Amino acid sequence: QYTPATTIRVLSVGYANLEQAPQLVTVSTSSTKNTVQVTAQLSSQGSLSAAIYRVSAAVSVPASVNAVLLQNMAASTNAANTSTLTFTGLDAATSYRVYFLTTSLVGVKSTLAQVLDSVQSVDTACCKTLTGTLSAASVVEQQAVSNLLALSLSSAPSASLTVAIQLYAISSGTGAATLHPSSLFPASFAVTSLTTSSTQLRASLPSLPAGTYEYRVVLSGDAAGEFSVEYAGNQQRIEVLSAITEPPVPVLSSATFASDGSFVSIVFSADTNRGNTAT
């Protein structure tokens, strides 16, 4: 014979972290053309990790806590519970998002929800650069010169970009510049967001009569505002010399030893086959 139960006892067990991940108290950001620096103060000692994503990228948010850790950008807090991290190698005039992950001294990490809530938006400074470099400052009249000009981009544009090259004749008397009917060829290039920074755009000089000329680069298109034009060595002018005139002697621009000292790289202001070296 069974006696009905008169008492029921239930034991409930719950688990909680003895210590929480530090909270973000303040976050400040600063940027240059190619870097973003973030400084964060935490509510307690620990470490700060961060991940940066280009806003326009296919993957622009971390999918997990590990995605933040995989960028390997972290620093421990100092005595003021502050950490500073610097991202380098970024593109100029570009929008980014930065996500933060904190870790306590005993290893408790932020949740993914907390990481996503920590987002900070930052833009790198303008501008991306397009640099024009002449392979020679003087050429001989009535002789076309292949690939006299090389144009290079520091990074790809975010949208369409048209690069036009104009050629001006410089008056020997007044120094006035007059747009010349001939230009380097091709006279323009269409650049897209798929263009890499390693791509060089090359233009050739047509045969011209003796005189002084100057090339100028003009940008247009949706991404024109992202770029500034630079001229290597501030060299825009091209001297077209008479065929009976001795060209100027090339000037040594730089000489750099290799890191292991096995060779020296010498750069002249114009093409030369006489480096006047000992070997």
pLDDT digits (tens, 9 = 90+) for 188-241: 999 998 888 788 999 999 999 999 999 999 999 999 989 999 999 999 999 999
Residue 24: pLDDT band by 50, 70, 90 thresholds?
very high
The CATH number that domain 24-123 falls under is: 2.60.40
* SS3 letters across the chain: CCCCCCCCCCCCCCCCCCCCCCCEEEEEEEECCCCEEEEEEECCCEEEEEEEEECCCCCCCCCCHHHHHCCCCEEECCCCCEEEEEECCCCCCCEEEEEEEEEECCCCECCHHHHHHCCEEEECCCCEEEEEEECCCEEECCCCEEEEEEEEECCCCCCCEEEEEEEEEECCCCCCEEECCCCCECCEEEECCCCCCCCEEEEEECCCCCEEEEEEEEEECCCHHHEEEEEHHHCCEEEEECCCCCCCCCCEEEEEECCCCCCEEEEECCCCCCCCCCC
Judge whether residue 251 has pLDDT over 80: no
Q: What is the mean pLDDT of residues 151-155?
A: 93
Residue 249 pLDDT greater than 50, yes or no = yes
CA–CA separation, 242 and 220 (whole Å) = 36
For the chain, give every residue range classified as CATH 2.60.40: 24-123, 128-248
Average pLDDT, the chain: 89
Q: Residue 264: which pLDDT band, with cuts at 50, 70 and 90?
A: confident
Residue in the block written with tokens 């502050």:
82
Q: Check residue 247 and give its pLDDT.
A: 66
What is the pLDDT, as a whole number, of residue 260? Answer: 79
277: confidence class by pLDDT, cuts 50, 70, 90:
low
Task: Tell me what pLDDT residue 80 has.
Answer: 96
Domain 128-248 belongs to what topology? Answer: Immunoglobulin-like (2.60.40)
- Rounded to whole angstroms, the Cα distance separating 214 from 33 reads 29
Q: Is the pLDDT of residue 9 over 80?
A: no
Would you state the pLDDT for residue 48? 98
